[in-house]
Structure 1
Amino acid sequence: MANVVNILFSSFISHPVACVLLFVSLAHSQNIVVFQPSYLTATGPTVTALLLGNTSDISLNVRTVSPSNKTGSLGSPSCVAQVTQWVLTKEPVGKTAVRVQLRLDKSLRLCGENETDTDCCPEPLCVLETLQVSACVGGTPQASLLIQAKIHALLVPANAGSDNKTAIPNQVYQTLGSCPCDLTFRACDTLCCCDKDCSIEDLKLFESHCLPGPFGGQVSPAPDYQCSVQSSDNSPDWFPFLCVSSPPENNPYLGLFYQGDTIASKPGPSFQGPIMSAPVPVNSYIQGSPIFTLNDQFFTIPQKVLGRCVNSAPVAFLKNFKVKCVTLLRSCPTGSPLQPLPADLRIKVKNGQGGVALVDVIEEVASDLSQFILSTDAAASSDERLVCENVTLALDYKIYWKGNGITSITLAHTVGTITLNSSVALTTRYSAVFLNGEFTGEPNSGNPGYQVGRPVIAGIVDTLDNDTGSIQRTSINLWKPVSDGFCSTAEKKPVLFGENSTSGCLLPVSRQSLTQCDLLRETVASLQAALVTATYVAKSGNPDPVIMTDWINISFVTLNSSTTMEDTTSSCYGIPSHQHIRVWSLITGVVDGIPQKDIHALEVSYSLSPWALDCGGGDVSACVDPMETQLFPITSSVTFIDIPMNPGPPKTRFQINFTEYDCNRNDVCWPELAFPFTKYYTGEPYSQTLAKSLILVFFFIAASILGTPWRQIRQAWNCANL
């Protein structure tokens, strides 16, 4: 056994997860306990290790040990408890594992001079000792853990920081402040020679490597083009005419900072849980405000928060939601929300108008549990099965509202009987819909233009008795495969404005199905048609259901197959396997500087493709067995196309055929050679540009005449005359 343990310890560094699993298996099979690891070096006040094996009757104790003067060993483990400065705790993390934690019950603050408090460290090396943790059963040690503790005291700066930030002086006439590199309050910053907190000894360390330039507190030297820099002796020929006369205070760093002032510090972020204040009831409801019960508590329904299901989430006024929560049941539920009491559902809610609305509960029993139970374990014997009755499967709330109040609330409580073998994955539905009369108060997707990421609003004509039509809202959907990815279990997701997307699902098809191609085409076409049941799409994000000019017709186009072929006994052609949605949008205006986009047209087309069984790769079962199936993809996609707001004038024949002088289609643009004189320069009016350019040309000619070339010409002329 010792050899096996040594081998496992030697391989722990390279394979820690595998070693832990082997230890658990070894300890469980031999009914022993071991510490993992068996030796630790502690440099902090907390030490954690694992105790693996049969830990049911194990007791733990800790003591301080020291090596013997004669043998040098630490001695055998002991079950006698000893008082130490460490607190020992244990926490089970499984059936065969216990997390053991030691925490130092002492402050690591360094003691001050003449301090009598014993809860501090008299020396910088605060703790230096060897600990032995023993696992005992009935007074007999079974395993031990050695910990070498070497902990230093926490050193805190003598000068604590101030609660206020550094006051920056007026930056109007001072370059970046008096010392921009002084970043630490009451501490010397390295390489910052203007830092007042640096002593003379500190400055000697880096005085030859000070930060240069304005950011180091040193004003940059004047550039060569300043008129005050060059002297008449070494100045170039062009200097008197082209130098720049500017005061040294005029530099590009002025005005980068605001007026300095002392700002009181704000409390920083805390890792402690926030203290939730009591809810404050409101007199009347507005959109988004929480709904309260009669005892001034939040009216809650299970919802998803940050991707996770929360059993008690407040319901917001006029905010519809529909979620699904998956719960793994190993035993029958006993509390809310899966097993609520009648009083938990029939709640009195404040209606926002000084009255009370009672939740009217309608009980429904579900006979088909296939849409609620995702998976079960293997069948067990009848004695091991557990029957759970009246388990909540769905909570569907309908909240009727008018003005700023609630008129009534109805709840459809769906229950069912679930049989447990060992575990069941239960999917529970929760929804809340706000209805104004009998119409659902659905949110808009923009005001007025569509917002990116909001659903595209579609509709169908709802004919009334008085021969006036209105549009009933619906959505345009794509496939949303879940679970196994089959089309029979796939869900639908709405098309979001401005977001291109492609999705699909899998349809099992057998050889027998390929002999009935017309039926197969109708099946696939009905599946694809269920994604887009609307006939109209809203132009803007807030359409009026009774104004037909706010809606446009959806065009449906069926694309023929690229090749015309006939069906055979093992293949079918013309299957509408891909549905593509194209949405054309354009900018129709600007509201507060934000462009507003409307939908100009929407087209739904279908691509036809042939389906045939694939019998390659050695798998010929689908081609032999008429009931064996293969998976074929059914896809859907959406593409948004922006229509340009101003396409510009049409190009001339010269612009189309000759590109030598076209700056947009040629790398070399000859018209831009004289850029300030051409129409391409639009920074200033053309008259001013021409005047300034002529003045600049005059200065260049004058500099050439008065400079070195003219002097050489004059000297040559004088020499020729002589």
Structure 2
Amino acid sequence: MANVIHTVFSAFILQVAYVSFSISSAQTQNTVVFQPSFLTTTGPTVSAYLIGNISGVSLNLRTVSPSNTTGSSGPPSCIAESTQWTITSEPLGKTALRVQLKLNKELRLCGENDTNTDCCPGPLCYLGTLQVSACVDGAPQASLLVRARIHALLFPANAGSDNKTVIPNQVYQPLGPCPCDLTLRVCDVRCCCDKDCSNEDLKLFASHCLPGPFGGQVSPAPDYQCSVQSSENSPDWYPFLCVISPPENNPYLGLFYQGDTISPRPGPSFQSPILSAPVAVNVYIQGSPILTLKNQYFTIPQKGFGQCVNNAPVAFLKDFKVDCMTLLRSCPTASPLQTLPTHLSITLNNGLGGDVSVDLTDEVATDLSPFISKRDAVASTDERVVCENVTLALDYKFYWKGNGITGITLTRTVGTIAFNGSVTLTTKYSAVFLNGGVMVEPRSGNPGYQVGRPVIAGILDTLGNNTGSVQRTSINIWKPVSDGLCSTAEKKPVLFGENSTSGCQLPISQQNLTQCDLLRETITTLQSALITATYVAKSGDPDLFSISDWVNISLIPVATLNSSTAVEDTTSTCYGIPSHQQIRVWSLNNGVVDGKPQKEIRALQVSYGLSTWRLDCGGGDVSPCVDPEETQLFPITSSVTFIDIPINTEPPKTRFQINFTEYDCNRNDVCWPELAFPITKYYTGEPYSQSLAKGIILVFFFIMASVLGTPWRQIRQAWSGAAL
């Protein structure tokens, strides 16, 4: 906590514009002026500008009396005086000079026995007015007045700490009556009960302390306390309705606990201790990094944020397959393009307390077309480069059982690359985890689907013994790449809970539009290739041998849609083109496991949106309509939409509940049934018999107070006066 020192200036951008205007004015008059000519500062540093013909100008500083600061301060003087300020100047071109004043004095308060006279004797450290004169040949040309009012800096008595106050368990350790003391060994602003605040600190915010209990101030007792009202001014009903409660019993009891502490003691045990089995060191779980014997990450080149990372950790039970592109202008000399058997045949921690070594096998690639994508040749043949034993691919197979790795095999593919100039090399890296000899299929949840995981689909594979299993596959949508054409487009799996729309473009000519049946069949084939499955898994971890874990995919054929909207094709126009594939997934929340909702797929429907394709020859481009082989691009799209099925666990409402709302407490502001809540069956604070008895006694007291109170006494007095 410190007094913030700041200097009052005009806005910088406006000042620069004003200085530029003053420069042009001063140059025309061949004089010098200060801009601004009067300043007020509360900081130890202040700056101004001297504008005009600054050649041969000298600056002089002196202290003037405050009476001379109203309006003009009299004629400036070229006689310098000794002050606590230092004046410096910096030329800004040929017509401007930046003048800066700095106070040579410490801005800390003097201690009680402080012998240093350079400190501040009081909170107001400096008060005075300075005059800066610009002189040429001993004659003053312009003057600047600076009024300074500077306060001392206040530092905390103890060194600050970034640690926050640790609130202990209030059962064993009292918290104390100062909840606004949030920072350890530092004075908190406006916290008047903070013991770290000195008297000087408290003077700064003594009148602005935090109010209420959180500021350490005890709130006054409420009006409903029996101890607040006296018998003189209390109403007649007060003795029956006031509350008798000690002041310590308030909503802030847990924050201001001041009772005795309890020392925890271990209780006696008559059972013999149970010795647990030894736990294996560094047990692997799904997603944990694989370690070497030196507890370092085992790394393989992988992709991260769209780029290849050479030293990326390998996660247990996480398969991957990536391609990395590298531009070569010379032969590589370092990993991962140049690898040695000693660097690859390493020993890893198997997760079961032992180790496992990598078994390396080399293969030589004779066909380099999958690895070389582009060559940039030069005219000279003398620059031909030949690189031998370049690592083209690293394929790892991890064999696992339980929480450990039982074996690792690595197939390294090497080859010889020859090129002129440069070549773009594509290297391939992969890792698969095999349980025995079967590749592990990644799950999309356990058991329910998790958002962002692939939707699992399957095809029924009927075996010879009349038992069937499901062959796992995926549901895909379009993934356009490079030019966005359908011929180069790829597929991407549908991710659970993520709505998506994508597509590609298909070049169509006038000749294609004359064969509409063939065109519809071609588009249908392209769209059907995205979804080859007939089943979809209900959960994210289905059983491949249990058909009850799967749901049939509902497919609306294109022929059905065309028959319902049959329109005869015309020349250069085709109707009923299934250009849009719509996937709808209905899911249901089936509970929560470890705080994560478990969602289940109940239905999946695939339908098609039909469109009409015709060539557009407007805008001056008539070539597609003239040339039968000229093409135009038509979009083919696919989308997926996830629909949540609402859960309604309440019984259906009767007609009386729907229409009659007078006594419905959930839909009516006034709830009459809750008027006698303590004596109804809904009140469970105490036995029903006791609450009924107390309610009857309370009603009796109300009747007695009404009969014996002031209204009846006044009636009896009026009756007696009338009788007399």
Q: Which band: TM-score by shorter chain?
A: 0.5 to 0.7
Residue in 2 aligned with 1:560?
Answer: 561
- Output the TM-score relative to the length of structure 2: 0.63
1:220 Cα shift?
A: 0.4
The one-letter code sitting in structure 1 at the alignment partner of 2:585 is V
For residues 348 and 294 of structure 1, what CA distance do their matches in structure 2 show? 9
- Report matched runs for 1:203-282 at 5 Å: 203-256=202-255
Q: For the structure 1 residues 433 and 569, does the alpha-carbon distance in structure 2 shift closer, same or farther, using more than 3 Å as the test?
A: farther
Structure 2 Cα separation of the partners of residues 175 and 405 of structure 1: 52
SS at 1:582 equivalent? strand
The 3-state SS of whatever aligns with 1:496 is coil
Where does residue 543 of structure 2 map in the other structure? Answer: 544
8 A Cα contact 1:479 1:635, kept in partner: yes
Q: How does 1:614-633 map to 2 (within 5 A)?
A: 614-625=616-627, 626-633=629-636
Within a 5 Å distance, the mapping from 1:124-143 to structure 2 comes to none
Question: CA, structure 1 residues 638+440, in 2 after alignment: closer, same or farther (shift >3 Å)?
Answer: farther
Q: Distance in 1 between matches of 2:637 and 2:386?
A: 39
Deviations 1:509-537 (A, max 9, x none): 33333223223222322222222222222
| Distance in 2 (alpha carbons) for counterparts of 1:526 and 1:683 | 67
Report how far residue 589 of structure 1 moved: 5.8
Q: Distance in 1 between matches of 2:622 and 2:416?
A: 43
- The alpha carbon displacement at 1:459 in A equals 1.7
- Maintained 8 Å contact 1:481/1:491: yes
Q: Please tell me the root mean square deviation across aligned C-alpha atoms, in Å.
A: 5.1
Q: Does 1:331 align with 2:329?
A: yes
Change (3 A) 1:446 1:185: closer
Which runs of structure 2 are paired with 1:81-100 in the superposition (5 Å)? none
Instruction: Note if contact 2:543-2:549 (Cα within 8 Å) is conserved in structure 1.
Output: yes
Q: 1:312 to 1:417 in 2, by over 3 A?
A: same
- Contact 1:181–1:189 at 8 Å: present in 2 too? yes
Give 3-state SS (helix, strand or coil) of 2:630's partner. coil
5 Å matches for 1:34-53? none
The 1:624/1:197 distance shift into structure 2, 3 A limit, reads same
Aligned equivalent of 1:411: 411
1:635 to 621, 638, 646: 638
Choose 1 or 2 for highest CA Rg.
2
Q: Deviations over 1:157-176 (max 9, x none)?
A: 66335798767688569996
Structure 2: which amino acid aligns with 1:460? Answer: I
1:365-393 deviations in whole A, cap 9, x for unaligned? 55656x975x99xx886459987868766
Amino acid at match of 1:502: T
**1:475-504 Cα deviation digits (max 9, x unpaired):** 222333344443333333322333333333
Call closer, same or farther: CA 1:358–1:190 in 2, change over 3 Å. Answer: closer
Cα distance, 1:433 vs structure 2: 1.6
- Partners of 1:659 and 1:421 lie apart in 2 by 87
Q: Is residue 2:572 matched to residue 1:570?
A: yes
Q: Does 2:600 align with 1:598?
A: yes
Contact 1:574 / 1:608 at 8 angstroms: preserved in 2?
A: yes
Q: Contact 1:290 / 1:317 at 8 angstroms: preserved in 2?
A: yes
Q: How far 1:223 moved relative to its partner?
A: 0.9
Q: Secondary structure at the match of 2:533?
A: coil
Distance in 2 (CA, whole Å) between partners of 1:533 and 1:713 is 94
Q: 1:340 maps to which residue?
A: 338
Once the two structures are superposed, what CA deviation does each residue of 1:560-608 show, in whole Å capped at 9, x if it has no partner? 2674312223222222222222333335566567664433332222222
Change (3 A) 1:286 1:172: closer
What is the alpha-carbon distance in structure 2 between the residues aligned to residue 172 and residue 354 of structure 1?
Answer: 49
Where do residues 108-127 of structure 1 align in structure 2 (5 Å cutoff)?
A: none
Deviation at 1:221, TM superposition (A): 0.4
Identify the residue that residue 507 of structure 1 maps to in structure 2: 506
Correspondence 1:469 to 2:471: no
Contact kept in structure 2, 1:290 and 1:315, CA below 8 Å = yes
Structure 2 stretches lacking a partner, 5+ long: 1-12, 18-53, 60-105, 111-117, 121-152, 261-279
Q: Determine if contact 2:163/2:183 at 8 Å carries over to the other structure.
A: no
Q: Is the 8 A contact 2:156 2:186 kept in 1?
A: no
Q: Quickly say closer, same or farther: Cα 1:372–1:507, change in 2 above 3 A.
A: farther
Q: What residue in structure 1 maps to residue 176 of structure 2? A: 177
Q: Distance in 2 between matches of 1:581 and 1:170?
A: 54
Query: Is the contact made by 2:176 and 2:258 (CA closer than 8 Å) also made in structure 1?
Result: no
Q: Which amino acid aligns with 2:581?
A: Q
SS in 1 for 2:449: coil
Name the aligned partner's letter for residue 212 of structure 1.
P
With over 3 angstroms needed to count, the CA separation of the structure-2 counterparts of 1:69 and 1:301, relative to structure 1, is same
What amino acid sits opposite 2:476 in the alignment? N
Give the equivalent residue in structure 1 for 2:455.
456
Query: Which one-letter code corresponds to 1:627 in the other structure?
Result: E
Alpha-carbon spacing, 1:282–1:563, altered in 2? closer, same or farther (3 Å): same
Contact 2:175 2:257 in 1 (8 A): no
SS in 2 for 1:554: strand
Kept in 2, the 8 Å contact 1:357–1:407? The answer is yes
Cα drift, residue 412 of structure 1: 6.6
Counterpart in the other structure of 2:361: 360
Question: CA–CA distance in 2 between the matches of 1:641 and 1:414?
Answer: 51
Deviation at 1:419, TM superposition (A): 6.7
* Residue 609 (structure 2) pairs with residue 607 (structure 1): yes
One-letter identity of the residue aligned with 2:247: P
CA 1:230/1:489 → structure 2, altered by over 3 Å: closer, same or farther?
Answer: farther
Tell me the equivalent position of 2:191.
192
SS at match of 2:513: helix
What is the aligned partner in structure 2 of residue 87 from structure 1?
Answer: none
> Is the CA contact 1:169–1:177 (under 8 Å) kept in the aligned structure 2?
no
What SS does the aligned partner of 1:525 have?
Answer: helix
What residue number does 1:644 align with? Answer: 647
Cα distance change on mapping 1:654 and 1:181 into 2, 3 Å: closer
Q: Is the 8 A contact 1:345 1:359 kept in 2?
A: no
SS of 2:521's equivalent in the other structure is helix
Mark the runs of 5 or more structure 1 residues left unpaired by the alignment: 1-9, 15-67, 74-108, 114-121, 125-153, 262-280
- CA distances 1:120-174 after superposition (whole Å, capped 9, x unpaired): xx999xxxxxxxxxxxxxxxxxxxxxxxxxxxxx998663357987676885699
Q: Provide the residue aligned with 1:533 in structure 2.
A: 532
User: How many Å separate the matches in 2 of 1:662 and 1:415?
Assistant: 85
User: CA distance change for structure 1 residues 325 and 258 in 2, over 3 Å: closer, same or farther?
Assistant: farther
| 1: CA distance, partners of 2:349 / 2:462 | 33
Work out the number of aligned pairs and report it: 558
Q: TM-score, normalized by length of structure 1?
A: 0.63
Q: Residues of 2 paired with 1:683 and 1:486: CA distance?
A: 70
The separation in 1 between residues aligned to 2:581 and 2:406, in whole angstroms, is 42
Change (3 A) 1:191 1:346: closer
Q: Is the 8 A contact 1:351 1:407 kept in 2?
A: no
Distance in 2 (alpha carbons) for counterparts of 1:233 and 1:536: 84
Task: Judge conservation of contact 2:587–2:642 (CA < 8 Å) in 1.
Answer: no
Tell whether the 8 Å contact from 1:365 to 1:414 is kept in structure 2 after alignment. Answer: no
Percent of pairs with identical residues: 60
Distance in structure 2 (CA, Å) of the matches to 1:167 and 1:545: 53
Q: How far has the Cα of 1:247 moved from its partner?
A: 0.6
Q: Compute the displacement of 1:218 (Å).
A: 1.5
Does the CA contact (< 8 Å) of 2:361 and 2:411 recur in 1?
Answer: yes
Q: Following the alignment from structure 2 to structure 1, what is the Cα–Cα distance between the partners of residues 283 and 199?
A: 69
- How does 1:416-431 map onto structure 2 within 5 Å? 428-431=427-430
Structure 1 distance, partners of 2:708, 2:616, is 90
Aligned partner of 1:721 in structure 2 is 723
Query: Amino acid of the residue matched to residue 613 of structure 1?
Result: L
Instruction: Compute the displacement of 1:242 (Å).
Output: 1.5
User: SS of 1:489's equivalent?
Assistant: coil
Does the 8 A contact of 1:299 with 1:349 survive in 2? no
Residue 50 of structure 2: aligned partner: none
Alpha-carbon distance in structure 2 between the residues aligned to 1:616 and 1:600: 48
